Structure 1
Amino acid sequence: MLHAAHILCLGSSTSAAGTQAAQLARRTGATLHVMTLPSGRAAGPTGSEPGSGAEAAVPAHVVETQPRSVTAVLQYVGDADIDLVVADTPLDRGPVPPLATDLTRALTRRLDRPVFIVERQDDPDAIQRLLVPTDLSVPALRAFRHAVALARLYDAAIDVLHVIESVPYVALTPTDRLSLGATTLLERRGRRRLRAFLQEGEAAGVQVQPHIMRGAAADQISRFANQGDVDLMVLSAHGSDAEEGPLGLVGTRVLGRVTRPLFLVRASGPSLLGPPDDAA
């Protein structure tokens, strides 16, 4: 289950991000913070109730200043001990992927906590299918556990996608020759490790469907996300060195191509899953 004490919405309280953030705050019992950005409409006074209707009312703190820099947002996130940041896709971005914009790209590179980039949609409960691309690493498992919690929150199903990179090689050893069969050694290993993901989802009462594809990881993930009936992509950001950056080489490429809403989970830092995830 998701645990959050403070959720920050970047944008107006009447925007898609405001509606989604209010929904999450109500369901998790969190306090909602609204920080209006220069492109957003002015928000109401402190203590106003974002969203529409009585059911959307949540404890809220509206920041009336309009920060002009990512540094100001980062400062507020630290000072207010924010657990989750929810942001809108720009109204004028056209077909540009959500994280291809300067603000969201800068925030996701520098924030050490989950970020939810919301698409322009009226109904926050429209999220019915989640996609979790995975390289079967420990950070990816952390992202999957967040996806399970989100799936329970929205009563959604999860597609787990593992891509086997196609690389040229010369089969010289018995192990290499195993890769020439109809089902390769890498694919068998992938399916075996994916079963562990399915077991966690089943234990939580969530429907999980595994997928294994071949090719370039960024290409296959982007194609699956954009062509499939995916409402939200949950992605792990775990770059391994300075050259790749904090999002990783594949993650950076995917986020520059995918036009779906995104929930980005950091490999380390604050978790929305509480003590059980930290212990794991």
Structure 2
Amino acid sequence: MLHAAHILCLGSSTSAAGTQAAQLARRTGATLHVMPLPSGRAAGPTGSDPGPGAEAAVPAHVVETQPRSVTAVLQYVGDADIDLVVADTPLDRGPVPPLATDLTRALTRRLDRPVFIVERQDDPDAIQRLLVPTDLSVPALRAFRHAVALARLYDAAIDVLHVIESVPYVALTPTDRLSLGATTLSERRGRRRLRAFLQEGEAAGVQVQPHIMRGAAADQISRFANQGDVDLMVLSAHGSDAEEGPLGPVGTRVLGRVTRPLFLVRASGPSLLGPPDDAA
């Protein structure tokens, strides 16, 4: 199950982020914190203030404050013990991916907790298919567990994508080519490790479909996300290089190309999965 005591919405109560954050707060019993952004960067569909019926879409405990900078947002997240930050995709971004904006890029580089970047959609329950790209690492397993919790929350299905990046093999003889077989050793290993991921989804009663592709990871993930019927991408942020940032080289390239809503899970720091995940 997804656990959250405090959810911060960066946007108005009537924005897509406000609607999604309110839905999550109701389902998890969390307190909703609303932080309207300056310059209308996360305004509602019409750019207006919340109407008379806006209160009905927001849980009872709402704390409203006005940020002055990314530093102020980070300070508030720490002071209020925020578990999850929900942000809007800017209305004027056009085809620009979510993390190409200054605010979301700065927040994801510096926040140590999950970030949910939503699209402009009226129905928060429209999330029916999740994509989880995975390198089969421990941080990626943590992201998959969050995806399972989200899938249960939205009654959605999950596509798990593992990309095998390999150097083309040039066989010297027909016998060499036959020895490779229809399935390579790396693919067999990938499928075996994927089964461990899928068992968790099956135990939770979530429909999980595995996919193994070959090629450049960023290219294949971006293509799958943009061409497929994906409503939300759940991605692990576990880069360690200072220049690459927390997303790592593949994640950084993917988020420069993908325009889907995003749920970003940190490799360490606060978890939304409660004691079971901490024990694991």
Q: Give TM-score scaled by structure 2 length.
A: 0.91
Distance 1:254 1:112 in 2: 20
With over 3 angstroms needed to count, the CA separation of the structure-2 counterparts of 1:42 and 1:215, relative to structure 1, is closer
Distance 2:246 2:137 in 1: 15
- Contact 1:47–1:59, Cα closer than 8 Å, also in 2: no
Unaligned runs of 5+ in 2: none
Offset from partner CA, 1:128-150 (integer Å, 9 cap, x none): 00000000000000000000000
Offset from partner CA, 1:99-128 (integer Å, 9 cap, x none): 111110110111000000000000000000
- Contact 1:84–1:115, Cα closer than 8 Å, also in 2: yes
With over 3 angstroms needed to count, the CA separation of the structure-2 counterparts of 1:173 and 1:206, relative to structure 1, is farther
- Contact 1:47–1:62, Cα closer than 8 Å, also in 2: no
Offset from partner CA, 1:191-238 (integer Å, 9 cap, x none): 001111111000000000000000000000000000000000000000
Q: How many aligned positions are there?
A: 280
With over 3 angstroms needed to count, the CA separation of the structure-2 counterparts of 1:17 and 1:46, relative to structure 1, is closer
The secondary structure found in structure 2 opposite 1:60 is: coil
Distance 1:98 1:179 in 2: 45
- Contact 2:40–2:47, Cα closer than 8 Å, also in 1: no
Unaligned runs of 5+ in 1: none
| Superposed displacement of residue 190, structure 1 | 0.3
- Contact 1:36–1:63, Cα closer than 8 Å, also in 2: no
- Contact 2:12–2:36, Cα closer than 8 Å, also in 1: yes
- Contact 2:42–2:89, Cα closer than 8 Å, also in 1: no
| Superposed displacement of residue 40, structure 1 | 3.2
Q: Give TM-score scaled by structure 1 length.
A: 0.91
| Superposed displacement of residue 48, structure 1 | 16
With over 3 angstroms needed to count, the CA separation of the structure-2 counterparts of 1:103 and 1:174, relative to structure 1, is farther
- Contact 2:114–2:266, Cα closer than 8 Å, also in 1: yes
Q: Which residue of structure 1 lines up, in the alignment, with residue 266 of structure 2?
A: 266
CA RMSD, Structure 1 to Structure 2 (Å): 3.8
Distance 1:217 1:102 in 2: 25
With over 3 angstroms needed to count, the CA separation of the structure-2 counterparts of 1:209 and 1:96, relative to structure 1, is same
- Contact 1:12–1:35, Cα closer than 8 Å, also in 2: yes
Distance 1:86 1:175 in 2: 56
Q: Which residue of structure 2 lines up, in the alignment, with residue 131 of structure 1?
A: 131
Offset from partner CA, 1:41-99 (integer Å, 9 cap, x none): 89999999989869955545555543231101000000000000000000000000011
